[in-house]
Structure 1
């Protein structure tokens, strides 16, 4: 996924980034991120469908949302056909870089 993102012309992401809110509270560790834009890209494998993991993910994502992070989620389907995922990532960067 990282290679597809870089091949599509996006800046190189940081890997396994610890994200924090403005007060320094830990929000979560994200797979790929561009912290200066508060954009994260998460790969959600099948284990994310388990009830407890799903509930944890929802609570965690709410923390990102209220702290103005844009989190794009990817699955195995996106890896094999990444066009929609890459378009969402382009939209995220456009929203963050608009002057």
Structure 2
């Protein structure tokens, strides 16, 4: 019968247990972040407010609100427009 070779193992100490790493909290906008926007109907179009970055923009049509908001966010933060997502959190007609 063959003799088994002992395997080399490090003894586990109390402090060497694996800990879960938690990602640091992001305080500013990051790539791929979703922004909540507020949309207000005006006499000559739509006012788009982005409270997270303290910016606002104006759209002439309801269909253009998302694009206008994404362009404004990309311009203010430097995030590429393809990575910016918006969600209409509040709409006042």
Normalised to the residue count of structure 2, the TM-score between the two structures is 0.29
Q: Which structure has the bigger radius of gyration?
A: 2
Instruction: Indicate the structure with greater helix content.
Output: 1
Greater RCO structure (CA 8 Å; 6+ sep): 2
Normalised to the residue count of structure 1, the TM-score between the two structures is 0.28
